[in-house]
Structure 1
Amino acid sequence: MSETSLPAPTSADVARLAGVSRATVSYVLNDTAGGRVSEKTRLRVRAAADQLGYVPHAAARSLRAGHSGLVLMATPEITFGPLFNEFFSELRAGLRDHGYTAVLYGSRADLSGREIARAWAELRPTAVITGVTDDLSPEGVEILRRSGTRAVLTLAAKPVSGAHALVLDQSEVGETAGAHLVARGHQEIGVIMPTDPTLRLFSEPRLSGVRSAATPAGARVEPLDLDYTEESAAALAARWRSLGLTALFCYNDEYAALLLAAFHDAGIAVPAEAAFVGSDDLMLARLLRPRLTSVHVALPQGLFLADLIDRLIREPDAPLETHRVGTATITVRDSS
């Protein structure tokens, strides 16, 4: 008989080899033993499991727990930056401490909101967090609830009926940048609009925010399309003086870095000829020269969100909650 055709080891095999009960094996391998199992016994059970190549069955564990333990975070199919990566790493660690598994699920643009909710429901997640997409509808929340999802949260500009909400208003980012530039006396402000269509969820509200700050002051706002390439940045730098603009909200710190290099190569002084403001307040903003003024966005702490999700899973009938997150403040440096 070939090695690949051997039957998979079971918890009974581990118990027999370790000389303990199956319940003890379950306690040890699922980290639920508490003080009921000695450290010596723990080591013996783990050694037996390693020797046999035994791995606990997730489906069986789900049956015992009454839920899958899967926390699905639905996101648009875009490349996230350091700010999101740090947030998700902390969230994932916090959920792991509570016994859950966090996974990212890239939403498909070719599916309707109802179809997307059904695709999520097929995975039987214990909780769903919709990212910054507009995919979730009240009908989608109901589909998830009927499939056994205990907690549904949205991270968007507006709450969705039936779901808990973490309200993150991207327009506040632009408004904070615009207010800073207007306060510095700028009446001609450019706003970088990435040509990547998946970033419109962020760029369009940010443009609206700049306009809401600039319009009462009589300032002009001009959107400027930009590819994330050195060639596109150089082309904008080459025509900068002809645009009649004095300031630039660069969408985020990475686009600002791209443009600072292009403006430097073109001999355009920052901030004398072009005041720069980025967003996300990454370490990159402090390393650039001149140091970059940036909008700091206070994303929810991953550990706070993990604790909130755990509570909502354990209390699936709790009243719906709305938490405002992502407050924007300006960190002023040399570029503006």
Structure 2
Amino acid sequence: MSPAETSPPERVRIKDVARAAGVSPATVSFVLNATAGQTIRPETADRVHRAADALGYSPHRIARALRSGSSRVVLLEAGALPRTAVLDSFIDGMDAELRRYDFALVVHHDRGNGAAPVDLARELAPRSVIDIAALYSDEADETEDGGWTDGLALHSSLQIAYLHEQGHRVIGFAARREDELGALVARRRRHAEEAAVRLGLHPLALLDLPADPLDIPAALVTFREENPEVTAVAAFDDESAIAVLSAAARLGVRVPTDMAVIGFDESAVGAFWSPPLTTVRIDAAESGRRTARLAIGLDPGPRRSSPSTIVVRGSA
């Protein structure tokens, strides 16, 4: 057999469907997930469905089974994703739903010194393997986690839309320099920038937060000097937002009077800051529950709550 005969077919991505249908990936996501509140022409929706059928695309790819086993175990591959509030909540939601059906959840974090996912799958013979880390890799489609329906794109757009509703038209995006978060930071920034474009806002100004906290006030001074028109900063996460709040307090920048700040992925400490941090709360537990059902072959059913909400406090 030639290599061409033995190589597995390439996985169809949402971008392939979008290209075939002549629409954007976001439109494909809206159509295939039957997202409410979207004004998509029937002929466009029909074109998307026909393209997806012709290419053999399935929107439910979060529960990819690396091997099909007989044990009552589900393996969650978290890779090198950082342990954040949203990931912990997702895991809790999965675990609680799996327990209802007498399944156990095993979570694998790759820190370069543990067993590989394939080795774990061989030993555990799990019913399925959920490769959540793959959803946020550089190669993944940016709508596979739910995109503009209930994924990172939606949560990011909610953050920018809230600032827009508060009257801000020129917004900054703050993130720390961390290699392990590079792909996530880049994706969050792209989603935020697309949300700004959709709302007719100016391009986002990047506030690059140094790794050393002592250097952040100077970075904020430079940022404000170079971007005097910015009235609000949307942070990559709550930790980045609190870093901005801390620097602003040292510099005498009044929040939110001089500059509003909003976080992302609500953390416990944000409510105790001064001023208390306005942020985005993500219902990752519900996503975990639905993913668990997919993993064991059950209908995930409709969402029981909003994917994300704004927690309004004093900083924005």
TM-score normalised according to structure 2 size: 0.62
Specify whether residues 96 and 310 from structure 1 end up closer, same or farther in structure 2 by C-alpha distance, changes over 3 A only. same
Matched, 1:73 2:76: yes
Q: How does 1:156-171 map to 2 (within 5 A)?
A: 157-158=143-144, 169-171=151-153
User: 1:289 and 1:333 mapped to 2: Cα distance?
Assistant: 10
Q: 1:256, CA displacement in angstroms? A: 1.2
Instruction: Please give the secondary structure, in 1, of the residue aligned with 2:204.
Output: strand
Give the letter for the 2:314 counterpart: D
Specify whether residues 94 and 177 from structure 1 end up closer, same or farther in structure 2 by C-alpha distance, changes over 3 A only. closer
RMSD (CA atoms): 3.6
Instruction: Please give the secondary structure, in 2, of the residue aligned with 1:217.
Output: coil
Match of 2:224 among 215, 227, 241: 241
Q: 1:301, CA displacement in angstroms? A: 2.8
User: 2:224 and 2:296 mapped to 1: Cα distance?
Assistant: 55
Match of 2:235 among 250, 256, 260: 250
Specify whether residues 326 and 232 from structure 1 end up closer, same or farther in structure 2 by C-alpha distance, changes over 3 A only. farther
Q: 1:311, CA displacement in angstroms? A: 4.6
After superposing the two structures, state which structure 1 stretch, 185-194 or 271-280, moved more.
Answer: 185-194
Q: 1:170, CA displacement in angstroms? A: 1.2
| Residue of structure 2 in register with 1:122 after alignment | 122
Specify whether residues 82 and 158 from structure 1 end up closer, same or farther in structure 2 by C-alpha distance, changes over 3 A only. closer
Match of 1:220 among 193, 203, 220: 203
| Residue of structure 2 in register with 1:207 after alignment | 189
Specify whether residues 155 and 329 from structure 1 end up closer, same or farther in structure 2 by C-alpha distance, changes over 3 A only. farther
**Structure 2 alignment gaps of length 5 or more:** 1-68
Kept in 1, the 8 Å contact 2:130–2:295? The answer is: no
User: 1:159 and 1:170 mapped to 2: Cα distance?
Assistant: 7
| Residue of structure 2 in register with 1:113 after alignment | none
Kept in 2, the 8 Å contact 1:228–1:255? The answer is: no
| Residue of structure 1 in register with 2:311 after alignment | 331
| Residue of structure 2 in register with 1:41 after alignment | none
- Cα displacement string for residues 174-229 of structure 1 (whole angstroms, at most 9, x for unaligned residues): 21111222232323211123322332343223212222232242423112322454
After superposing the two structures, state which structure 1 stretch, 264-273 or 201-210, moved more.
Answer: 201-210
Give the letter for the 1:126 counterpart: R
Kept in 2, the 8 Å contact 1:251–1:279? The answer is: yes
User: 1:335 and 1:102 mapped to 2: Cα distance?
Assistant: 38
| Residue of structure 1 in register with 2:19 after alignment | none
Kept in 2, the 8 Å contact 1:72–1:103? The answer is: yes
Specify whether residues 168 and 232 from structure 1 end up closer, same or farther in structure 2 by C-alpha distance, changes over 3 A only. farther
Matched, 1:172 2:154: yes
Bigger share in strand: 1
Instruction: Please give the secondary structure, in 2, of the residue aligned with 1:260.
Output: helix
User: 2:284 and 2:314 mapped to 1: Cα distance?
Assistant: 25
User: 1:127 and 1:120 mapped to 2: Cα distance?
Assistant: 12
User: 1:322 and 1:199 mapped to 2: Cα distance?
Assistant: 32
Q: 1:71, CA displacement in angstroms? A: 1.3
After superposing the two structures, state which structure 1 stretch, 323-332 or 74-83, moved more.
Answer: 323-332
User: 2:145 and 2:86 mapped to 1: Cα distance?
Assistant: 23
Matched, 1:276 2:268: no
User: When the two structures are aligned, how many residues end up with a matched partner?
Assistant: 237
**Structure 1 alignment gaps of length 5 or more:** 1-65, 110-115, 137-153
After superposing the two structures, state which structure 1 stretch, 291-300 or 269-278, moved more.
Answer: 291-300
User: 1:331 and 1:224 mapped to 2: Cα distance?
Assistant: 23
Matched, 1:105 2:90: no
Kept in 2, the 8 Å contact 1:300–1:326? The answer is: no
Match of 1:301 among 286, 294, 299: 286
User: 2:120 and 2:306 mapped to 1: Cα distance?
Assistant: 26
Kept in 1, the 8 Å contact 2:294–2:300? The answer is: no
User: 2:102 and 2:81 mapped to 1: Cα distance?
Assistant: 28
Matched, 1:267 2:252: yes
- Cα displacement string for residues 32-83 of structure 1 (whole angstroms, at most 9, x for unaligned residues): xxxxxxxxxxxxxxxxxxxxxxxxxxxxxxxxxx823221101131331233
Specify whether residues 330 and 132 from structure 1 end up closer, same or farther in structure 2 by C-alpha distance, changes over 3 A only. farther
Q: 1:277, CA displacement in angstroms? A: 0.7
Larger radius of gyration: 1
Q: 1:230, CA displacement in angstroms? A: 1.3
TM-score normalised according to structure 1 size: 0.59
| Residue of structure 2 in register with 1:91 after alignment | 94
